């Protein structure tokens, strides 16, 4: 049974305080250079969690990740052009 998860990009003021985001879900990555964190949560709790994250003093902005909506299955309808570039 797969649990449906959603990703959140949380822009923060302080990366040390971003470690506290683990209590909301699975903290995947914290960027010290760009001051953001990637957080995965249950899809059913998405709206509630986004509202709670916005209330935190060290959070600038919360964005939803659209990674699970991007098509990852590709089809090769185009002809293979590698034979034209051989020596």
- Domain presence at residue 76: no
Task: Kindly report the pTM of this predicted structure.
Answer: 0.76
Q: What is the CA radius of gyration of the chain?
A: 19
- Domain presence at residue 39: yes
Q: What is the pLDDT of residue 48?
A: 95
CB burial of residue 3 (10 Å; 0-12, 13-18, 19+): exposed
Q: Structurally, how many domains does the chain consist of? A: 1
Q: What is the pLDDT of residue 1?
A: 67
- Domain presence at residue 86: no
- Domain presence at residue 82: no
Per DSSP, the three-state class of 39 is strand
- Domain presence at residue 79: no
**pLDDT (tens digit, 0 to 9) for every residue of the chain, 87 residues total?**
677 899 999 999 999 999 999 999 999 999 999 999 999 999 999 999 999 999 999 999 999 998 877 887 777 777 777 777 766
- Domain presence at residue 75: no
CATH number at residue 23: 3.30.70.80
Domain membership of residue 54 as a residue range: 5-68
- Domain presence at residue 19: yes
């Amino acid at each position: 049974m797969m649990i449906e998860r959603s990703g959140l990009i949380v822009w923060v003021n302080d990366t040390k305080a971003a470690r506290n985001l683990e209590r909301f879900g699975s903290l995947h990555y914290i960027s010290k250079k760009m001051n953001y964190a990637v957080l995965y949560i249950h899809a059913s709790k998405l709206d509630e969690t986004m509202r709670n994250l916005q209330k935190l003093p060290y959070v600038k902005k919360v964005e939803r990740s659209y990674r699970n909506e991007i098509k990852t299955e590709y089809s090769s309808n185009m002809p293979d052009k590698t034979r034209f570039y051989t020596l």
